Amino acid sequence: MSRHRGSTTALTSLIAVVIMAGVYLMGRSDGRAGRPFSLANPAHAADAPTVSPTKARARDFYAPNSEDLRPDEMRLIACGTGMPTARPKQAASCWLLELGNGDKFVFDIGTGSAERIAAMQIPYNFLDKVFLSHLHTDHFGDLDALFVGGALAGRQKPLRVWGPSGDTPERGTKYALDHLFKALTWDIDGRAGITDPRPYFFDVTEFDYKAVNGIVYQDNGVTIRSIPAIHSLDGPVSFIVEWNGLKFVFGGDTYPNKWYAEYAKDADLAIHECFVAVPDMIDKFRFTPQGALAVGTQIHTAPEAFGKMMSIIKPRMAVGYHFFKDFDTTAAINDRIRTTYEGPLSLSEDYMVWNITKDDIRVRMAIVDEDVWPPPATGKPQVPDPSLRIPYSDLIAGGRYDMKDVIQPTYDEINKKYGLDEKQE
């Protein structure tokens, strides 16, 4: 027993010596041997902080509503980068562009993207300009959520929407939004006389999808043009934004085309769809090989074709989207792109952020608050007119249970605090 104890003690001492030697060798930042850092070591005691640091240091992420946007700067935020089947990690297509002049533009508002927009904590009065590339639901499926939700959260004016015509009136943006508005009849009528009525309208600008580099918006130094895109049917478009010597291109969904090749050339930042690789469409989406080839290479843009288009237009930053960015799919997409393109590249995901100036493009991720509440409205809310309320039927009104006694204290509290004389129904 004593020999065993002695062996253990010797082994422990040997290990301690080895560890101390390692610390000694690693103790210098220049890689040479030196004294280990220790508060007990007078040579290093002066270097040790005596209290926790109190100064902030630069972080490599974007926290919404925490940074000034320079007058010469664009900030682009990916609020939806995925597929038609939205998922918690990726909503469908949506891009929020903020300019240093104060303007903000939403390009597409696909399924699931309204909550990403909410996470940016921007007053909804500034989120009133939406540009639709086409009318697939993964590109405008959350328009109703932004329309109604934004109205309740502080937008005090109609929601303005720009979108392309179709080859028939029924396939155009105006027809789609007229009928979306009708579909929301119960929703909107149920808010009459209860909420501010001003935001519950669409202001629709439909433009010719066939126009080549035609101006669809021009104000406050910003020019937005459209070019035709090739996707599913006649009607889709791509957008080109020019402001302050900077050029941003949003391709929407499109097969590579001559208009994009010409008018997206030399963009500061160019977004173009880059679909899931065909083998992954077969393995993960369970497409037939025939369907995967047709959808992945003809209706959408294959990664190799995306790369070739970027090699043609040579943007300062190429951005691929419209794929599920997973640990087992991203490498294949990247490798296929790199067979045809060697330039700067972002494979996008939700909450990716690009800050764009003439001198630099900074790419980060946003860190968001999942418990976010709407920011304060920028204007004074309009008091609703109770006379506009649509009454319940006698049947439904007769089913109310009397709760006046427990609710009255709340009325008393609010009336006293705000100098009102509101009464229960």
Per-residue pLDDT of the chain (425 residues; tens, 9 = 90+): 444 444 444 444 444 444 444 433 344 333 333 444 444 455 555 566 666 777 777 789 999 989 999 999 999 999 999 999 999 999 999 999 999 999 999 999 999 999 999 999 999 999 999 999 999 999 999 999 999 999 999 999 999 999 999 999 999 999 999 999 999 999 999 999 999 999 999 999 999 999 999 999 999 999 999 999 999 999 999 999 999 999 999 999 999 999 999 999 999 999 999 999 999 999 998 999 999 999 988 999 999 999 999 999 999 999 999 999 999 999 999 999 999 999 999 999 999 999 999 999 999 999 999 999 999 889 998 998 999 999 999 999 999 999 999 999 999 999 999 999 999 98
The CATH architecture that domain 74-365 belongs to is: 4-Layer Sandwich (3.60)
Domain ranges of the chain: 74-365, 393-418
On the 0-12 / 13-18 / 19+ scale of CB atoms within 10 A, 151 is: buried
Degrees, nearest 5: CA angle 362-366-369: 160
pLDDT computed for residue 43 by the predictor: 53
Quick one: CA dihedral 62, 64, 66, 69, positive or negative? positive
Residue type, 144: D
pLDDT computed for residue 51 by the predictor: 66
Q: Which of 268, 288, 415 is nearest to 343 (CA)?
A: 268
Task: Match 């006389």 to its residue by tokens.
Answer: 193
CA 12 – CA 425 distance, rounded (Å) = 82
pLDDT computed for residue 215 by the predictor: 98
* pTM (two decimals): 0.87
